[in-house]
A and B are shown apart, each in its own frame.
Chain A
Amino acid sequence: MDTFSNLALGFQAAMSPESLMFCLIGVTLGTFVGVLPGIGALATISMCLPLTFYLEPMPALVMLAGIFYGAQYGSSTASILLNLPGSAPAAITCLDGYPMAKQGRAGVALFITTIASFLGGSFSILLMIGFAPALARFAISFSSADYFAIMVLALTAASTLSIGSVTKGMAMVALGLLLGLVGTDISSGAARYTFGMIEVSDGVSLVALAMGLFGVSEILTNIMRGDVVVVDAKSITMRSLMPTRKDMKRFWPAAGRGSIIGAIVGMLPGTGPTIATFMSYSAEKRLAKDPSIFGKGAIEGIASPEAANNSSVQAAFIPTLTLGIPGDAIMAVMLGGMLIHGITPGPQLILENPVLFWGVIASFWIGNVFLLILNIPLIGIWVRLLTIPYHMLYPAMLFFICIGVYSVHNSTFDVLLTLIFGVLGFALSRYGYSPAPLLLGFVLGPLLEEHFRRALVLSRGDLSVFIERPISLIFLILTSVVLLMSVGWFRTLVGRLSPKRLFRRPTNE
């Protein structure tokens, strides 16, 4: 088959010593900036771009891409160890990863997330090899009405993200939606809730919000409570880092579902990995036999989002490479990088430059293997972070939060915002308001509004557009089902109607 011979060609190109070396540099650098809070793949890739100027296109691209997906591997590390997400998508990993660390299972959690990342990444790479052009065309067939329906479905995740009271979760998601409105309205250009501050004219910084709500707030909570995870260095053995067979049994299906959700969300331009991780977490909790284990260190709660995260970032290359439509800012930099090297991503790329196209895809997989090999030995080192006494650890965390948030826009204002969100998040979570739904609302809000308004402009004010388009209709029906399932009497009714209780306990998919 043509694909296979091309792929073989690609692997040949990707296995050249030069490509291998730059792949390794890229993924190592990526892992490293991923672990650091705040500073992320976007800033790093932009800074490295001029340095790749003198390289051949292939190693340059391989390295830049390696930074990107390498950062996703690293981003969950600090979520698990310190409740400090390396980037916004990894915030969800805090929910179950950090409790695992508190139970002395940090090593297991890191092991699980590494494998999940590898699986998720590999899944999307396989999709790319098999169906990239077709998937890309499918992805761009989603119109604004369809996006709106997907965002509405994602919004229902809010109630599952909240630990404890569902009403409080809803209040937080509403607050997040409100916060998402701050800044310049995309459709009219009007400034909203900026109070004349230019620093928020492009919106509140997502990084500042995530670092404040999770990182700073947790530091305050820990100091207030006085009980802090301190691991005895002697207790770290190879065995304590490895998941049990029972863990792995729960791991596989969750990672599989996460990979699928991540791939679907990731290939849609403009959605991004944060939505993918939140949706996959929510799906796990809804499908679980016992949802009460979530938030207390459920394996599914880290495996699925982590697979979704990596699956979505790899899938984001699908529209970028095959149509020249980058889904987010990072993909746009990658596209710029390719153009500088005289490569034009688009439908022509696969025909005109098959060696490069397949070589880059092959390098993704090689990079993922590198990351697996690199990250597993690192687990032992990361876990030792927890042996640092807390009176040294928390000031150091604050230092990395400050400098990391600052690095995103060179803005001290964002650091102040982080502080405000930290105190706010502390006060809210102290009284049972969880930060995760707020973050979800914040990410979804602007997309909901943008697509709702644009769908109506395109339909000239006709609301039926949301049920006339099949994709939109399917997602709205799915949303209704999810909502109805949470209503007690409907669940009972469905349970009686279907003897196998298919809806109540979907066992596996």
Chain B
Amino acid sequence: MTNNNITKNTLKRTGGLLLAAAMSISMVFGAGQALADTDYPTKPVRILVPFGPGGLADITMRLAGEKLSKILGQQFIVENHPGAGGVAAANELLKADPDGHTLVVMSNGTTIATSLFKKLSYDPQKQFAPISTLAWFDLGLFVNPDSSYDTLQSLVAKGKANPDSLNIATVSPGSTQNLAAEFFLSVTGIKANIIPYRTSPDTLAALLRGDVDLVIESPTAYSGAIKGKQVRVLAITGAKRNPSLPDVPTVKEAGVDGYEVSGWNALYTRVGVPDDVIAKLNAAITEVANMSDIQEKFFDLGIVVGALTPSEMADRFEADRKKWSAVIESAGIEKR
């Protein structure tokens, strides 16, 4: 069935900016074809991204949306609904019909939001239905190559010996990076200053300038600096090594136990969407995740593509929610 859709859609999209022209062609084709199990999608599908345009989540979703459009024969249109805690995007999803034509991007950031906000206006676990993850990414622990920190151990030792002396930069408070830093301090027992910056490039500039000792940030944001040897990566926060940085140990390998952080982006929809629609979407995303050109592009971005089944997705969400809730508790972060 999916193969059928692919051949059908090779006719579509000769490129160019006239999205609508392509849209109408695919609608003509889509309408004429009654499919065996479900005829979803019957109209363009909206992907609500809870971030502004241009971020990693936005770019990856746009790339995947392009592929999903080809597989399922309807345009997948990315809409940006930025706002704290993903509330704007969530509200938009809850306004839509539960027919699977509106999807929302959730991330590990959402699992943080459930604990960080006193009163989140939506319950992602009760109101939203998981479809699949799409992208996985880890964080790196970066220091200035001119610094004396050759290994993670030397940094930890310095931090323990001189409380309150280290400066750690991360992006905004409550971000995965920021909580990963809090988590790092609580696991190692170091006392240090975590300094929030507005953007990832700001943290890189601060590190190059020597204002801060350590930055916890996604290797993607630092790829130029890594290549140019302007920064030193002490460790990677994921459970496994990062394929684009095969020589860099994980935090665990570097000698700090009980520390693992990996971020993900996933597609969700509303509870109430029929199971066969979710299954169809899940199959399509799995197909996208297995495409070699997608894997290549994502690899260039420092991201690993990987799909999960809806139930695995739900488990992962719950595991991360528990983890971040504990970090927020132990770091004494005030709820908003």
Give me the interface of A with B, judged by CB distance under 8 Å. Answer: 29, 42-43, 45-51, 53-54, 140-141, 143-144, 184, 186-191, 198-199, 201-202, 269-270, 319, 323-327, 329-330, 332-333, 336, 339-342, 344-349, 409-411, 450, 454, 457-458
A-B pairs with lowest CB-CB distance, top 5: A346-B224, A324-B224, A189-B173, A46-B53, A333-B54
Query: Are A410 and B79 in contact, CB atoms less than 8 angstroms apart?
Result: yes
Whether A339 and B336, one on each chain, are in contact in the complex, defined by CB atoms closer than 8 angstroms, is: no
Question: Chain B residue with minimal CB distance to A324?
Answer: B224
Closest chain B residue, CB of each to CB of A458: B211
When distances are taken between beta carbons in the complex, the residues of chain A under 8 Å from B15 are 51, 54
Given contacts A186-B172, A324-B224, contact A49 B59 (CB under 8 A): yes
Residues from chain A with Cβ under 8 Å of B83 in the complex: 198-199, 201-202
**Also in contact, A202 and B82, with CB within 8 A (given A346-B223, A348-B228, A349-B224):** yes
Task: Tell me the bound Cα distance from A330 to B225 in angstroms.
Answer: 19
Interface residues of B in 215-244 (CB under 8 A from A): 220, 222-225, 227-228, 230
Contact A198 B121 (CB under 8 A): yes
- Select one of A43, A269, A336, A409 contacting B82, CB under 8 A: A409
Whether the pair B62, A269 counts as a contact (CB closer than 8 A) is no
Partner of A140, one of B55, B173, B208, B301: B208
Residues of A within 8 A of B224 (CB): 323-324, 344-349
Q: Which of B176-231 contact A (CB under 8 A)?
A: 193, 195-199, 201-202, 204-205, 208-209, 211, 220, 222-225, 227-228, 230
Q: Which of A141, A332, A346 contacts B199 (CB 8 A)?
A: A332
Bound complex: CA A342 to CA B202 (Å)? 23
Determine if B52 is an interface residue (Cβ-Cβ < 8 Å): yes
B residues lining the A interface (CB < 8 Å)? 15-17, 52-56, 58-59, 62-63, 65-66, 79-85, 87-88, 91-92, 121, 167, 172-174, 193, 195-199, 201-202, 204-205, 208-209, 211, 220, 222-225, 227-228, 230, 297, 300-301, 334, 336
Q: Which residues of B contact A410 (CB under 8 A)?
A: 79-81, 92
Contact A46 B62 (CB under 8 A): yes
Given A198-B87, A348-B227, do A339 and B201 touch, yes or no (CB 8 Å)? no
Q: Which residues of B contact A50 (CB under 8 A)?
A: 62-63, 65-66
Complex CA–CA separation, A189 to B174 (angstroms): 7
**Residue among A270, A327, A340 making CB contact with B301, cutoff 8 Å:** A340
How far, in whole Å, are A187 and B211 apart by their CA atoms in the complex? 16
Q: Using Cβ atoms and an 8 Å threshold, which residues of chain A touch B197?
A: 454
Q: A323-B208, A323-B228 are in contact. List 18 more A-B contacts (CB 8 A).
A: A51-B15, A53-B66, A54-B15, A140-B205, A184-B172, A191-B84, A201-B85, A270-B199, A324-B224, A340-B59, A344-B223, A344-B224, A346-B223, A346-B227, A348-B224, A410-B81, A411-B88, A457-B167
Minimal Cβ-Cβ distance residue in A for B296: A342
What's the Cα separation between A325 and B201 when bound, in Å?
A: 5
A329 to B53, CA, bound (A): 8
Contacts of B59 in A (CB 8 A): 46, 49, 333, 336, 340
Q: How distant is A318 from chain B, measured CB to nearest CB, in Å?
A: 13
Docked Cα-Cα span, A190 to B174, in Å, equals 10
Considering only CB atoms, which chain B residue lies closest to A46 in the complex?
A: B53
Main SS of the interface on chain A? helix
A189 contacts B172, C-beta separation under 8 Å: yes
Chain A, Cβ-Cβ closest to B164: A460
Say yes or no: A339-B62 contact (C-beta < 8 A), given A140-B205, A187-B173, A327-B201: no
Rounded to whole Å, the gap between the CB of B70 and the closest CB of chain A is: 12
Chain A residues closer than 8 Å to B297, beta-carbon distance: 53, 340
Contact B198 A270 (CB under 8 A): yes
Residues of chain A within 8 A of B87, CB atoms compared: 198, 201
Neighbouring B residues of A270 by C-beta, 8 Å: 198-199, 202
State how many angstroms separate the Cβ of A403 from the closest Cβ of chain B. 15
Distance in angstroms between the alpha carbons of A329 and B228 in the assembled complex: 23
**CB atoms of B205 and A269 under 8 A apart:** yes
A348 to B82, CA, bound (A): 34
Q: Judging by beta carbons under 8 Å apart, are A323 and B225 in contact?
A: yes
A450 and B201 form a contact (CB under 8 A): no
* Residues on the B chain within 8 Å of A269, using CB: 201-202, 205
By the criterion CB–CB under 8 Å, are B230 and A347 in contact?
yes
Query: Is there an interface contact between B198 and A186, defined as CB atoms closer than 8 Å?
Result: yes
User: What residues of B have a CB within 8 angstroms of the CB of A324 in the complex?
Assistant: 201, 204, 222-225, 228
Q: What are 26 sample pairs from A and B whose C-beta atoms fall under 8 A apart?
A: A42-B52, A47-B53, A51-B15, A53-B66, A54-B15, A141-B209, A144-B211, A187-B173, A198-B85, A201-B85, A270-B202, A319-B205, A325-B204, A325-B205, A336-B54, A339-B220, A340-B59, A340-B300, A346-B224, A346-B225, A346-B228, A348-B224, A348-B227, A410-B81, A411-B81, A458-B167
**Chain A proximity of B26: nearest CB distance (Å):** 16
Q: Are A49 and B62 CB-contacts (below 8 A) given A333-B54, A410-B80?
A: yes
Residue among A46, A51, A340, A348 making CB contact with B17, cutoff 8 Å: A51
- Docked complex Cα distance between A274 and B202 (Å): 19
CA distance A47 to B198 in the complex (A): 24
Tell whether, in the assembled complex, residue B204 and residue A454 are in contact, meaning their CB atoms are under 8 Å apart: no
- What's the least CB distance linking B77 to chain A, in Å? 10
Instruction: Tell me the smallest distance from the CB of A452 to a CB of chain B, in Å.
Output: 13
CA A341 – CA B59 in complex, angstroms? 12
